[in-house]
Amino acid sequence: MTYWRIFIILIIGIIQIGIMPYLSFEHVIPNLIFIILITNILLGQDQTALWWLVLGGLILELFSPLPFGLYLLPYLIIYIIIRYLLRIYLLEPPPLLAMVVFFAASLLYNMVVMIILRLASFYSLPILAITEAILGGLIYFITWRRHIQKSPIKI
């Protein structure tokens, strides 16, 4: 199971590096690793989320020209924040609420990186956040439905 997990993360990592930059628009490149990481956190898949955090984050770190830590550290902070919010407020949120989480997380992460490195204009931030929210919402919706079907509530 673990090998499969690693293999899938590597595949997605390669897609993120090799294909996603060519599917960009308005200098916006959606981050698949980030989206899948949040999807797993929202679904309460702690173990899988941690794998995505470490391995996915490391792939991005190694291919990124940015200083080390600008992926892993914010991802870890986002992981902790979302896990904390989920414990207090809700577990397995509906897709629309999940999209809000994707939007907020994307905005938060990219704003921090942008402020640190002055990489992009503020104009691209909401576009990126909306793109990742839509894409994330879609991925979350698919996995959420599967998850609900797999684990029906027992009374």
Partner 1 sequence: MRRYRALIIIIAIIIIGMILDPFGLLQPVKDIVYRVSGPVTISLQRLSHNSGNFFVTLSSFRRLARENEELRADNLDLKASNATLKEIGHENTLLKEELNFMQTSQLQLIPAVIIAKSPSGFVDTVILNRGSHDGVKINQAVVSHGFLIGQVKKVTTHTSEILLITSNSSMIPALMQQSRGTGLLHGGLSGLHLEDIQLDITVQPGENVISSSLGKLLPQGIPIGTIKAIISSESDMSQAAAVTSPVAFSSLEIVFIVK
To partner 1, the closest distance from the beta carbon of 51 in angstroms equals 9
Contact 98, 85 (CB under 8 A): no
Q: Which residue of 2, 4, 67, 88 would you call a contact of partner 1, by CB under 8 A? A: 67
Please tell me whether residue 81 binds partner 1 under the rule CB under 8 A. Answer: no
Contact 40, 144 (CB under 8 A): no
For Cα atoms 10, 143, 26, give the angle at the middle one, nearest 5 degrees. Answer: 65
For partner 1 (CB under 8 A), the number of binding residues is 23
Q: Which residue of 5, 8, 29, 50 would you call a contact of partner 1, by CB under 8 A? A: 50
Closest by Cα among 108, 100, 114, 132 to 24: 132
Please tell me whether residue 118 binds partner 1 under the rule CB under 8 A. Answer: yes
Please tell me whether residue 72 binds partner 1 under the rule CB under 8 A. Answer: yes
Helix (H, G, I), strand (E, B) or coil at 135: helix
Please tell me whether residue 113 binds partner 1 under the rule CB under 8 A. Answer: no
Helices (H), the chain: 2-18, 32-42, 46-51, 57-63, 72-88, 95-117, 124-150
Q: Which is nearer to partner 1, 54 or 108 (CB)?
A: 54
Q: Which is nearer to partner 1, 21 or 152 (CB)?
A: 21
| Residue numbers at the binding site for partner 1 (CB under 8 A) | 14-15, 17-19, 21-23, 46, 50, 53-54, 58, 61-63, 67-69, 72-73, 76, 118
